[in-house]
Amino acid sequence: MEPSTLETVLTAVAAGRLTVAEALDRLKPPEVRWDHDRRRRRGFSETVLGTGKTFDQVLEAVETARERPVLVTRVDPAWGPELERRVPDAVHHPVARAVTVGPLPPVRTGPPVAIVTAGTADRPVAEEARLTLRVAGIPTEVVYDVGVAGIHRLFGVLDTLRRARVVICIAGMEGALPGVVAALLAVPVIGVPTSVGLGAHAGGFAPLLTMLNSCAEGLAVVNIDNGFGAARLAQLIWQTAAPPEEA
């Protein structure tokens, strides 16, 4: 707890503006335990996962965060506007299913992280990845809807992908696109299977297994729908590969 907070509460008790019970309530440790050293260790601060939390827990996490910007992922659609109303500088990003709080940093110079999707239905995962990278100041370029069902569309954007330092490739259905992209490029590719598909697709396990079994070199795979995890891995690769003037 900050000394200034303790002083404020004790002064209020001494002046009769707070009861002892009210003071104890204000001074109890927060439920959120922030890892304040993570930015030094990993290059990015903690993010609040909205899934599995109540609105009040998410609100407390945002309000107790020392660093800005704060990223809240997997936000209930009804919570976004309420967080915007109650938290200064909060911005709801509905497609990414996320909320940011505080000003975003300048975008760094250097080749972008390219984010490519097989279909339009994969866009929420792509936008989660894009927003995560934007919060970190990493440049991005997004290409939607170039899946293998119309593979000629991929060939039309290869120059864009070749300019990237890292590529995040997102696909549902059979999940073939990341292996194809990795086979055509000379940069790391991160595959993200999505839960977009039918029947034997099994909620994303079919594309997950396809990507894990790809014979293309240089392809890493994250969990189903994990645009955030793909973005953090891409950020670490981007930062590690950046020359000193870009880092």
Give the per-residue pLDDT at 63: 83
Longest Cα separation, the chain: 74
Beta strand extents in 19-110 (DSSP E only): 48-49, 70-73, 90-93, 98-101
Spans of all domains in the chain: 1-30, 33-101, 113-241
Query: Considering the entire predicted model, what is its pTM?
Result: 0.82
Give the per-residue pLDDT at 245: 65
Residues of the chain short of pLDDT 70, as ranges, are: 1-5, 26-44, 244-247
Class of 113-241 in CATH: alpha beta
Nearest to 103 by CA among 127, 142, 69, 72: 69
